[in-house]
Amino acid sequence: MKHLAILAALLAPVPALADTDPANWDDVTAAADGQTVYWNAWGGSTTTNDFIAWVGDRVMADYGVTLEHVKLTDTADAVTRVLSEKQAGEDDDGAIDMIWINGANFAAMKEADLLFGPYAEQLPNWAVVDAEGKTVQTDFTVPVEGFESPWAMAQVVFVHDTADMPDRLGSMQALLEWTAANPGRFSYPQPPDFLGTTFLKQVLVDILPDPSVLADPATDENYEAVTAPLWAYLDELTPNLWREGKAYPATGTAMFPLIADGELDLSISFSPGAASTAIANSELPPSVRTFVLDKGTIGNASFVAVPYNSGSKEGAMVVANFLMSPEAQARAQDPSILGYGTVLNMAALSDDDRALFDALELGVATLSPAELGSVQAEPHPSWATRIADDWMTRYGVSE
C-alpha cells in the first residue's frame, strides 16, 4: 500500500507540487511580485473593461502584479484554450492565468480537472465573504469546493423605459401578453449568450408550477416534458419580438443602445445596477427603471478561476483576493462604475469598510435589496446546456 502511494505521488502532475500553498499568504504575495496575470474576461462591456483596468492599476501598486485583460467575446473560448493546451502537453505556462467564469463553463472545467485549487477559501478576504447568505459555494447547483472565488452577485432584472412602458410586469405570462399588445418592443440576447440563456431559464422557472425539478440534472426521460411549456411559450412570443425574432442582440449591453434609440421598451439585464450606470454614462435615457417578477428572479454569483496550467497562479490568487476586498467590492457596486452586487457580508466588515458601502448612491434605476426580493436558484447547468442547444435548433436557424 505504501509503495502504491509513493507511486501515485510520482505519477501526479509535477507542477502541482511546485505551486505555492494558498494558505501561506506571505509566500503567495512574495511569489506574485513581478508576475503577469492574463485575465480572460468577457470584453464586450466597456464599463467592465474600465473596472478591470483599475484592478490592474491597484494590484500593480500593492503587489507588483501586472494584470493583462484578454477580452473575450465568449468565455467558452478560454475553456477551449486550456483544453487544447492540456492536449498539447502545455502544463506549466498556459496562455491563461485567470478566467471570469461560472455555470456550465465552470462545471466543464472542474469536471475535466482543468482548474487549480482548492484555493478560494484560503484567501484572506474569504473571511468577509457572505458564504451563508449568498450562493457563493455552489455555482448553478455545482459545488464550488474552492476551485473558484466569487467577486460579484448578479440577479435578473427587467429594464424598461417608463416613457414608453410605464408599468412593471409581474410574471412571464404578463410579459407574453404585453408583447402581443406591443409587438417588436422586446428582445433578449441570442443564446448561447449567457444572458440570453438565462432569459430562457427565467421563463421556465417562472411558468413551471414546481421548478424544483430543475435542481437535479436533466435526464432524457424528463427533459422534453419539463421544457415543453417553454417552447410553447417561445413559439407564441417569437413573432412579437423585435425584428420578429429574425435577429437578436448579441449581448445584454447591446440592448441598451436599442432602448436609448427607442427600438426596445423592455429588455433584461443580469446586473441590478447596470441600468443606473448606463444612465450615468448617457447610454440610457433617465426615464429607464428596473423591476423583478412577483415570484422573484434568477440570481447567481460571478467567479474567477485559475487554470491548472497557469504560470502565474500566485499572481492570479492575489488578483482574486483583491477582487473580494471591501475596496474593490465597493467600487464594483458603485452604479457610476459597475453597479454589481457585492459578495461580502456587511456584518463582517469593519466600520470603515462598511462606510464605503453606506456612502454609495445606488442610483435611480436600481432596486434596493428588499425590492429585489427573493432570489430564485439557478437550474442545474445540464438544463441550460440542453435548452440553449435546443433553442439554436428551433430558433437559431429560423429562416
Partner 1 sequence: MNSRRLLPILPILTLLAMLGPVVAGLWGTLLPAFGHLPAAGLTGPSLDPFRDLFDWAGLPRAMFLSISTGLLATGISLVIVMLINAGWSGTKPFRGLERLLSPLLSVPHAAAAFGLAFLIAPSGWLSRLLSPMVTGWDRPPDLLIVQDTWGLTMTAGLIVKEVPFLLLITLAALGQADAQRSVAISQALGYGRVTGWLKTVFPRVYAQIRPPIYVVLAYSMSVVDVAVILGPNTPPSLSVQIVKWMSDPDLAMRLEGAAGALLQLGLVIGALVFWRLGEHVVGRVGKRWIASGARGRLDPLVAQGALAAGAVCALSVMLGLVVLTIWSFAGYWGFPDALPDAFTWRNWMRFGPGTLEALGETALIAVTVAMTALILTIGCLEAEYRFGLSFSQRAVWLLYLPLLIPQTAFLPGLQTLMLSLGADVGRAPVMLAHLVFVLPYVFLSLADPFRAWDTRMGTIAAALRASPNGVLWRVRLPMLLRPILTALAVGLAVSVGQYLPTLLIGGGRVQTLTTEAVALASGGDRRAIGVYGLMQTGAALVPFALALLIPTLVWRNRKGLRHG
Q: Is 110 in the site for partner 1 (CB under 8 A)?
A: no
**Interface segment toward partner 1; rule CB under 8 A; list 15-23, 88-96, 126-134, 309-317:** 88-96
Alpha-carbon distance 137 to 330, whole Å?
A: 21
> In the complex, what is the shortest distance from the CB of residue 339 to partner 1, in angstroms, rounded to a whole number?
16
Among 19, 54, 77, 130, binds partner 1 (CB under 8 A): 77
Among 64, 146, 229, 285, binds partner 1 (CB under 8 A): 285
Is residue 289 within 8 Å of 362, Cβ to Cβ?
no
Is residue 268 within 8 Å of 195, Cβ to Cβ?
yes
Alpha-carbon distance 52 to 319, whole Å?
A: 10
Q: Is 181 in the site for partner 1 (CB under 8 A)?
A: no
Among 22, 28, 51, 85, binds partner 1 (CB under 8 A): 85
Among 7, 12, 53, 355, binds partner 1 (CB under 8 A): 53
| 153 φψ region: left (φ > 0), alpha (ψ -120 to 50), beta (else) | beta
> In the complex, what is the shortest distance from the CB of residue 373 to partner 1, in angstroms, rounded to a whole number?
29
**Interface segment toward partner 1; rule CB under 8 A; list 182-190, 288-296, 314-322, 338-346:** 182-190
Q: Is 73 in the site for partner 1 (CB under 8 A)?
A: yes
Instruction: Report CA-CA distances (Å) from 36 to 12, 15, 69, 304, 315.
Output: 26, 18, 11, 16, 7
Half-sphere exposure of 124 (CA within 13 A, CB side): 12
> In the complex, what is the shortest distance from the CB of residue 245 to partner 1, in angstroms, rounded to a whole number?
8
**Interface segment toward partner 1; rule CB under 8 A; list 84-92, 140-148, 171-179, 351-359:** 84-92
Angle at 195 between CA 242 and CA 395, to 5 degrees: 50
Q: Is 209 in the site for partner 1 (CB under 8 A)?
A: no
Alpha-carbon distance 282 to 100, whole Å?
A: 27
**Pick from 315, 199, 184, 307: nearest CA to 244:** 184
Supply 319's cell numbers.
488578483
> In the complex, what is the shortest distance from the CB of residue 240 to partner 1, in angstroms, rounded to a whole number?
10
> In the complex, what is the shortest distance from the CB of residue 302 to partner 1, in angstroms, rounded to a whole number?
17
State which H helix or E strand residue 99 sits in: strand 98-101
Q: Is 234 in the site for partner 1 (CB under 8 A)?
A: no
Residues lying near partner 1 in the complex (CB under 8 A) are found at 38, 40, 43-46, 49-50, 53, 68, 70-74, 76-81, 83-85, 87-90, 95-96, 105, 108, 183-184, 190, 242-251, 253-258, 260-263, 282-283, 285, 392-393, 395-399
